[in-house]
Amino acid sequence: MKKKPQNGFTLVEIAIVLLVIGLLLGGVLKGQELIDSAKAKNLAQDLRSIPAMVHAYQDRFRTLPGDDPAAVRHLCSGGESCTVVGNGDGLIEGAWDATGSAETLRFWQHLRLANLMTGSTDTDDPGFLPRNALGGRLGVQRGNGTLGMTASLVVCSDAIPGKLVRQLDIALDDGDPGRGSLRAGTTGVTGLVAISAGSPLEDGNSYTVCASL
């Protein structure tokens, strides 16, 4: 009697399949690394560009955007009032993620009316509030001890995963998000709670990052 040939993969075929699977997985992981790197660069660009805009506004009008007491004269044309003036006390009042009519909200409107950044100048526009590459809020506020920093003004950005926070801190500061000019925190009952120096971050957890201007 003739033996029926057995159907199945040879060792060589199995090795080839495993190799292909390994290459595909490696490509996916490498692709994810590239995506994360691009997001980190975008977040870093936000934190770098805002100080430049603030300095440009100060050079032009000798005051801070949002706090500008002559904003209507500086930014509006045709005799119309296109914005609300600040109180001119040299501070940008309000929380970085404020809504309503705080100076920290008018900060963005003044910069846009001065053509120093793009975006809607209508505070009622759903797209008025600036967002980072991950959809989190972006804003500025007085340093005033924010996350333990002593800077007079800080820029903050939220909804950032721990793995990207580490990349940001390496790119912009000392690599430790618990100290230096860029720090990370979590939102607690009393507001932002700073990460302790040297503390590890959870890759999947979201953090708020603030940097000195």
CA 130 – CA 136 distance, rounded (Å)? 9
pLDDT single digits (tens) 25-43: 766 665 667 778 888 899 9
Contact indicator for 103, 86 with CB cutoff of 8 Å: yes
Domains in the chain (CATH in brackets) are: 14-212 (3.30.1690)
Report the percentage of the chain scoring pLDDT > 70: 92
Calpha distance 176→199 (Å, rounded): 8
Question: Percent of the chain having pLDDT more than 90?
Answer: 67
Determine the pLDDT at residue 7: 63
Residue 2 has pLDDT above 60, yes or no: no
Tokens, residue 105: 């909200």
Residues 111/103, Cβ–Cβ less than 8 Å? no
Assigned token pair, 211: 């940097």
- pTM given for the model: 0.82
Q: Residue range 99-122: average pLDDT? A: 94
Average pLDDT over every residue of 133-143: 93
Average pLDDT value over all residues in the chain:
89
Residue 74 DSSP SS3: helix
Find all residues with CB under 8 Å of 179, minimum gap 6, and list them: 148, 197
Is residue 191 very low, low, confident or very high in pLDDT (cuts 50, 70, 90)? confident
d(CA 157, CA 129): 12
- Give the least confident one: 39-53, 149-163, 186-200: 186-200
Measured distance CA(198)–CA(191) in Å, rounded:
21
What pLDDT score was predicted for residue 144? 84
Cα–Cα distance for residue pair 67/90, rounded to 1 Å: 7
Q: Which residues contact 131 (CB under 8 A, 6 or more apart)?
A: 137, 138
Mean pLDDT value of segment 203-208: 93
Q: What is the pLDDT of residues 4-22, one digit of tens each?
A: 555 666 777 777 777 778 7
Other CB atoms within 10 A of residue 133 CB: 18
